[in-house]
């Protein structure tokens, strides 16, 4: 793929995006689940398996993208230099710890699984940040967006799974409200930085188009429903369920756009147009796709 102007990269398709969607949700769920188990005494074996299923689904989608299936083993070769390798190791140890925790019911193992889930989520964020040729990924503001979306999705899914759990922690819904607010804050800070000349015009325009949907689906609607669930106990089950679904799909909408729709390559730039022959006046620099018409 080559273009003078910034164009969307075509190396990572929807299957690669699926790893960030499902992997972030699963690792976020494992983190929140550990706190619910350790602080609230919640039974965690089944929810832990659900978290691992999400992480596994994301990795399976990435595996489908590989032309030669056994080449996935190469990802384990460079843990000292590659965030993808670190993500793979984190996923492997997370799976082992999560399965052991679900089998034994050990609080120590679920805490270990949560720590590995945090490492996995951090690796996902750093994979994007390390992609220096993609302006929308290389900016440091993408790190809190990926981490905040994972935590918000995990909290929402935990609230949904534990809906009928008698020992569900009272702090779960307030935590979801805070997580939704932090996610919205990180996203709009990310949009602001992209609008300050750090990304091509196409990226800025795309962010402007999706901002209303992100605000509504990923924050306003689920946040309002969480408040209703806390204020009106009779409506809590249905309000919590709808809020959780909106929160998860809202986070997926954000990450799918970042990985697929905002992934424009840098493009080419000429900082100063050369002048031939006798002294003359150089023309302005050229950076196609980065300046508004």
Domain ranges of the chain: 14-261
Q: Are 3 and 266 in contact (CB under 8 A)?
A: no
pLDDT score at 11? 82
CB atoms within 10 A of CB 123: 21
Listed as ranges, residues in the chain with pLDDT below 50 are: 293
Q: Give the C-alpha separation, 230 to 223, whole Å.
A: 11
pLDDT score at 203? 93
pLDDT score at 190? 97
Q: Give the C-alpha separation, 2 to 265, whole Å.
A: 9
pLDDT score at 281? 60
Fold of the 14-261 domain: Formate dehydrogenase/DMSO reductase fold (1.20.1630)
Q: Give the C-alpha separation, 16 to 40, whole Å.
A: 35
Structure tokens at 200: 């091509």
pLDDT score at 266? 81
pLDDT score at 41? 80
Closest CA to 72 of 57, 80, 81, 84: 84
Q: Per DSSP, what are the bridge partners of residue 264?
A: 8
pLDDT score at 112? 97
pLDDT score at 293? 44
Q: Give the C-alpha separation, 73 to 84, whole Å.
A: 12
């Amino acid at each position: 793929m080559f273009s003078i102007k910034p164009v969307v990269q075509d190396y990572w398709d929807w299957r690669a995006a699926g790893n960030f969607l499902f992997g972030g949700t699963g690792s976020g769920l494992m983190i929140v689940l550990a706190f619910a188990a350790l602080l609230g005494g919640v039974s965690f074996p089944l929810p832990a398996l659900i978290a691992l299923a999400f992480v596994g689904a994301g990795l399976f989608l990435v595996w489908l993208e590989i032309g030669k299936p056994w080449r996935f083993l190469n990802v384990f070769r460079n843990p000292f230099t590659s965030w993808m390798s670190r993500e793979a190791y984190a996923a492997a140890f997370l799976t082992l710890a999560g399965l052991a925790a679900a089998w034994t019911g050990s609080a120590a193992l679920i805490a270990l699984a949560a720590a590995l889930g945090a490492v996995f989520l951090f690796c996902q964020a750093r994979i994007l940040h390390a992609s220096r040729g993609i302006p929308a990924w290389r900016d440091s503001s993408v790190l809190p967006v990926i981490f905040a979306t994972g935590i918000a999705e995990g909290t929402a899914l935990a609230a949904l799974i534990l809906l009928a759990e008698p020992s569900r922690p009272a702090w779960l819904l307030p935590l979801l409200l805070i997580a939704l607010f932090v996610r919205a804050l990180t996203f709009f800070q990310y949009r602001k930085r992209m609008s300050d000349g750090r990304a091509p015009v196409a990226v800025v325009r795309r962010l402007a188009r999706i901002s209303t949907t992100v605000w509504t689906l990923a924050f306003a609607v689920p946040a309002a429903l969480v408040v209703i669930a806390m204020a009106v106990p009779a409506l809590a089950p249905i309000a919590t369920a709808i809020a959780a679904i909106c929160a998860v799909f809202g986070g997926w909408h954000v990450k799918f756009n970042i990985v697929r729709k905002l992934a424009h390559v840098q493009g080419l730039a000429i900082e100063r147009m050369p002048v031939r022959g006798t002294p003359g006046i150089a023309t302005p620099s050229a950076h196609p796709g980065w300046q508004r018409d």
